[in-house]
Amino acid sequence: MCVPPTSLVKSCTLMNRTEQNNCWWYLSSTHFAASAMAFSCWCCRKSQNVSFAGEDPKVHPDQQMDSDVDQLRRFSLEELKLATDYFSNENILGSGGFGKVYKGRLQDDSLVAVKRLEHKPTPDGELQFQTTTEIINMAVHPHVLRLSGFCMTTSEKLLVYPYMANGSVASHLRERPPSQPPLGWPTRKRVALGTARGLSYLHDHCNPKVIHRDVKAANILLDEEFEAVVGDFGLAKLMDYNDTHVITDVCGTAGHIAPEYLYNGICSEKTDVYGYGIMLLELITGQRAVDLAWIAAEDDLLLLDWVKVLLRENSVEELADPDLQGNYIEAEMKHLIKIALLCTRGSPSYRPKMSEVIRMVEGHSLSERWDEWQEMESCDPKLEVTLQTFYFTVDSTQLQRPIELSGPR
């Protein structure tokens, strides 16, 4: 149970439709990872007597899935069809490898986001749905997306979330219409802290702990008060404490995946710490983790490497998102950049825990770790870069295409 709270190539999810078609071939679902996640949840369900659809062939799936998620609202398929205008394309908020997300309006006039999983009549499809439902249901925290309900029939699997009117952080950084003001610096600082708190909760206050595995600006949502909410648990994994799990296939988004995870399949909470560091750099610069345009300019392909170069040149002002128009505090920006670089160190053992990151973002416990980082960089500044870029030789079919939200959710 959970204790109450006290970028290889540019990510295809950020490409236009033509680019998506060109790169779709290497973004596929991973059989072993889904099975591993499912097995973890099966063990958890066995100990808690959780019953899901499909476990009893004699019972229709729409009549099961009761015990551990009975506090969740179970929607009828007709309810969600009506809410989304029969899954109208006009209501699509985002799409990706797992399906599409629709904006919906329920009969009580409340707004929801309905995630409609692709219909795949395979065990993996059902197990992924069960895993996602259990993970989200057991996590209760202000900075973690709460599951409102679900719908499961023989032909449909849908998850219902609260509607986030302010969309994702990525949509504000890269898809903001001219009429919409950019995220101000105070808001970006709150996003950094709120995201850290949400991830720390998943790592340290859930048993089994939850590894998100796809931390990026597109998966950090903003509530009515522009507070950060960690969302999209489509790739999340349940893990026992002190467990470092090795899997055959790797899930995530190019440029956001930790080196040890992509190269060796080693997954731990430090995988999320790395993703958080890249997300911080997105938040500061407004840039994508990987940008192919940088190739033509003979610049560094990875946002992380570009940041390191400018930091060594003491050109921190060039890192600031132009949308900020200079309205930021340079010392605070440098502080967050340092945290991002500590979180993205090549070796996971050198990265801080998310609980430590919280203290750093709040202004504590940074100096000693930063001195260590500078010492290592001065000894061999190419070492850390090598650890980040070696995975360009890795078979890209290991990458999975997660859902990218283009607007409010």
CA distances in angstroms from 228 to 168, 191, 224, 331, listed in the order given: 9, 5, 10, 22
- Torsion of the alpha carbons at 355, 361, 365 and 369, rounded to the nearest 10: 90
Distance CA 13, CA 17 (A): 9
Distance CA 248, CA 251 (A): 10
Per-residue exposure over 9-23, b if at least 16 CB sit within 10 Å of its own CB, e if not: bbbbbbbeeeebeeb
Determine which one of 62, 68, 204, 214 is catalytic: 214
Q: Is 308 annotated as a binding residue?
A: no
Is 70 designated active site? no
| Concatenated DSSP letters of 186-208 | HHHHHHHHHHHHHHHHHHHSBSS
Apex CA 357: angle with CA 3 and CA 328, to 5°?
Answer: 125
What's the count of helices (H) and strands (E) in the chain, helices before strands?
14, 13
Letter for the amino acid at 305? D
Residue 100 φ/ψ, nearest 5 degrees: -125, 155
Tell me the catalytic residues: 214
Binding residues: 115
Binding residues for ATP: 115
